[in-house]
Amino acid sequence: MGQDRVGFYEGCLSVPGWQAVTPRWRTVRLTATDESGAAVDEVLTGWPARIVQHETDHLAGRLYLDQAHLRSLTADRHVAPWTMDPSPERAAAVLGFDLP
């Protein structure tokens, strides 16, 4: 929906124990049908937008790793120094990958 993308750490129960910085659109429009058949049309921003993109990727057979910065891939037990930052800018600088 928007032109603005943002990178942040993501993990997934399909790939337990790992996280990587994954670029996502900051704002998305969700159109769907809910469990009772009612139309859903919402604009989501931030964390809800990231979650919707992550989950709808699964419907297309994609995992976050398909678009993650693999240089940022880290085991959960080693991720604390990076994920405590409010953005992955320090990790990108140290590990050598570009953020959107």
* Per-residue model confidence (pLDDT) at position 69: 93
45: which strand partners? 27
End-to-end Cα separation, the chain, in angstroms: 16
- Catalytic annotation on 55? yes
- Summarised one tens digit per residue, pLDDT across range 26-43 is 999 999 999 999 999 999
Catalytic one of 10, 42, 55, 89: 55
Please count the other Cβ atoms lying within 10 Å of the Cβ belonging to residue 47: 10
Domain extent listing, the chain: 5-95
Helix, coil or strand: residue 63: coil
pTM of the complete model: 0.79
**In which residue are the tokens 């032109």 written?**
3
Domain 5-95 has CATH 3.90.45.10: yes
* Per-residue model confidence (pLDDT) at position 2: 60
Where residue 87 falls among pLDDT bands split at 50, 70, 90?
confident
The two structure tokens encoding residue 94: 């140290």
* Per-residue model confidence (pLDDT) at position 82: 65
| pLDDT value at 1 more than 70 | no
The alpha carbon of 67 is separated from its chain's Cα centroid by a whole number of angstroms, namely 9
